[in-house]
Amino acid sequence: MPPLRSTDSPRAAMSTQIPVVLLSHRGPVSFDRDATSGERTATRGAGGLVTALSGLAAHLDEAVWVFVAAGEEDVAVARETEGAPARLLLDPEPRLLEDGDDQEGRQFPVRLLEIPHEVHEPFYGVISNPLLWFVQHRLYDLTRSPSLGREERTAFEEGYVVANELAADAVIEQVAKSATPPVVLLHDYHFYLVGDLVRQSCPDALISHFVHIPWPEPDSWRVLPPDMRNRLLNGLLGCDIVAFHTRADARAFQLCCQELLGLPTDLRSMTVSVAGRTVRVRVYPISIDIPALEAIAHTDASDEHLVDLDHTLGTGRLILRVDRTDPSKNIVRGFQAYDLLLAEHPEHHGNVVFLALLQPSRQDVKEYADYLAAIGAAASSVNAHHGTGDWQPVDLRYASDMALATAAYRRCDVLVVNAVADGMNLVAKEAVVLNERDMVLALSEATGAHDELGQFAVTLHPFDVAQQAEALHEALTMPPQLRRERREHAALIVHRNDVKRWLTVQLRDLAALAGPDGSSWTDGADRDHTGRPA
Ligand code: G6P
């Protein structure tokens, strides 16, 4: 493996020749069939994780990205390719390349993994989303839930464990095809068991697992039966590196290893000792791809949406939120806070609109379907309380439209992120970079983004509706000069810590760990991604 090189580009941080195998649940593309023509269509995957990994994969010469075939047409592609990687061209529109089809542009091999429906359903719909997501975002009302019966136990054994084994098999196959030991980069809460499975078959591979969602303290994990939580932790400890977005998450993970597994951990050097090995716990706050975002924000479609928004709002103020309809996003309390603001500050009546651009999410999970209904009711209630013939205070739109979102980022006066818990929250970063009106960021203290941007934001306390109402008033009445200074500072931070830096620092650490004696590793051992000492 090559030595560490001092550089600021992902391509140079680690030799592009090192083979890399990536695994995540969602992938960079999803396939469908056009309703009229019957032709296969391909759509680029959305979300921060997918965007960041697309940047990574495109930077490396030998990266294979394994992800789960989600819809019917994905499964058709998985079957046609029979588990062999196919080359994906990303731009301008994603498509699989045939052999000999030489194209310029961002491209890398992808491998779609078919997980049988009877396995995927309990894996995704019973364990990953309601159970792990809810534990990690602390969403349970513990007087009533979770209530773990036979169904959940079976879903764990026959869903989560089996899906993880299938994913591990695919990764192991890719590792085996590689002439030199590859770097294996595993992502998120769907695949906590894969690290250990891969280590058992491929002891030479360098394995890292990135947890993109919050990691709570040991007591939150105690809602899971000991055998279940221990297996999840031991799965992660099969890796060389376990990475998080925040120092608090990394620390909580180490406390879990200490308290739940009784393992020696060193909070200063951020290591856990297990079975004679040292597992490094690291902090790399994810960020955004600014040129790619700006490209979307300066399309005709985005400009047209901006003209529409300007036309509708006139001189009025715009409060904006852009979220999946996830209970962790705290959308209902956000509307309640706005309701209170309008009740206590009639001076805002007629002058402000709260635009909520919401993407329905995980609707086959009951808690999410119920939450969607609660969002609709909360928005209607605000409009019923305060609306007039020519002013509706809430404009609720269910849409997943980046052109519209970027136009709204450009036009908004306040961007609301009041999440109960959020690993990072990239909406906050996108908005401060694109905004053209010196917006105020109203940001939950429970987001990873608050570590970087909190000092330039109005902080929101996610459970305190009255505080959120006051904070919205403060944001709407903040003097222009202060707004400008804060937004500019926040944008500067995001420009400095962009997704390229997120990738570069990780790859540099991996290259150091992969060095002949691993000696360069200590160089980065007690610093986080932003260079702050531990
Ligand atoms: C979060 C998770 C991702 C997930 C995404 C969308 O960002 O960290 O792993 O892919 O939400 O959720 P979905 O269930 O639609 O994949």
- CA-to-CA distance for 152 and 229, rounded, in angstroms? 13
Residue 64 lies in domain? 16-113
From 113, 143, 178, the end of a domain falls on 113
CB atoms within 10 A of CB 6: 8
Nearest to 60 by CA among 22, 4, 103: 22
- Regarding whether 162 and 134 lie in a shared domain, the answer is yes
- For ligand 1, atom 8, the nearest C-alpha belongs to 212
At 460 the pLDDT is 98
Q: What is the mean pLDDT of residues 485-493?
A: 98
Q: Of ligand 1's atoms, which has the minimum distance to the CA of residue 187?
A: 9
CA quadruple 261, 262, 264, 266: dihedral sign: positive
Which amino acid, 134?
A: F
From 65, 88, 113, the end of a domain falls on 113
208 phi, psi to nearest 5 deg: -130, 145
In-domain check, residue 6 = no
Instruction: Please report which helix (H) or strand (E) contains residue 414, including its range.
Output: strand 414-417
Name the residue of 115, 129, 209, 212 to mutate for ligand 1: max ligand atoms within 8 A of Cβ. Answer: 212
Q: What is the mean pLDDT of residues 43-55?
A: 84
Establish whether residue 188 lines the binding site of ligand 1, counting it when its CB lies within 6 angstroms of any ligand atom.
yes
Confidence of residue 508 (pLDDT cuts 50, 70, 90): confident
- Regarding whether 217 and 84 lie in a shared domain, the answer is no
At 527 the pLDDT is 42
The verdict on whether omega for the bond into residue 146 sits within 30 degrees of 0, i.e. cis, is yes
Task: Identify whether the C-beta of residue 180 lies closer than 8 Å to the C-beta of residue 19.
Answer: yes
- Regarding whether 210 and 325 lie in a shared domain, the answer is no
Name the residue of 44, 133, 186, 188 to mutate for ligand 1: max ligand atoms within 8 A of Cβ. Answer: 188
Write down the mean pLDDT value for the chain.
92
- Regarding whether 124 and 79 lie in a shared domain, the answer is no
Q: Is the pLDDT of residue 529 over 50?
A: no
In-domain check, residue 172 = yes
- Regarding whether 45 and 138 lie in a shared domain, the answer is no
Q: List, for residues 107-163, the tens digit of each pLDDT value.
A: 999 999 999 999 999 999 999 999 999 999 999 999 999 999 999 999 999 999 999
In-domain check, residue 165 = yes
Q: 49 CA to middle of ligand 1, Å?
A: 8
In-domain check, residue 73 = yes
- Regarding whether 305 and 250 lie in a shared domain, the answer is no
Establish whether residue 386 lines the binding site of ligand 1, counting it when its CB lies within 6 angstroms of any ligand atom.
no
Confidence of residue 67 (pLDDT cuts 50, 70, 90): very high
Q: Which residues pair with 104 in a beta bridge?
A: none
In-domain check, residue 154 = yes
| 3-state class (DSSP) for residue 257 | helix
Confidence of residue 528 (pLDDT cuts 50, 70, 90): very low
- Regarding whether 262 and 168 lie in a shared domain, the answer is yes
- The DSSP 8-state label assigned to residue 3 in this structure reads P
In-domain check, residue 382 = yes
- CA-to-CA distance for 141 and 287, rounded, in angstroms? 32
Q: What is the pTM of this model?
A: 0.93
- Regarding whether 387 and 329 lie in a shared domain, the answer is yes
- Regarding whether 354 and 226 lie in a shared domain, the answer is no
In-domain check, residue 55 = yes
Nearest to 26 by CA among 47, 40, 55: 47
- CA-to-CA distance for 350 and 353, rounded, in angstroms? 8
- Regarding whether 487 and 509 lie in a shared domain, the answer is no
Q: Measured in whole angstroms, how far is the alpha carbon of residue 445 from the centre of its chain? A: 17
- Regarding whether 273 and 137 lie in a shared domain, the answer is yes
Q: 359 CA to middle of ligand 1, Å?
A: 12
From 113, 139, 163, the end of a domain falls on 113
Q: Measured in whole angstroms, how far is the alpha carbon of residue 75 from the centre of its chain? A: 24
Q: Is the pLDDT of residue 467 over 60?
A: yes
Establish whether residue 508 lines the binding site of ligand 1, counting it when its CB lies within 6 angstroms of any ligand atom.
no
Could you tell me the CATH number of the domain that includes residue 228?
A: 3.40.50.2000
- Regarding whether 156 and 271 lie in a shared domain, the answer is yes
Number of domains in the chain: 3
In-domain check, residue 5 = no
Which amino acid, 263?
A: L
Q: List, for residues 364-376, the tens digit of each pLDDT value.
A: 999 999 999 999 9
At 44 the pLDDT is 87
CA quadruple 437, 442, 443, 445: dihedral sign: positive
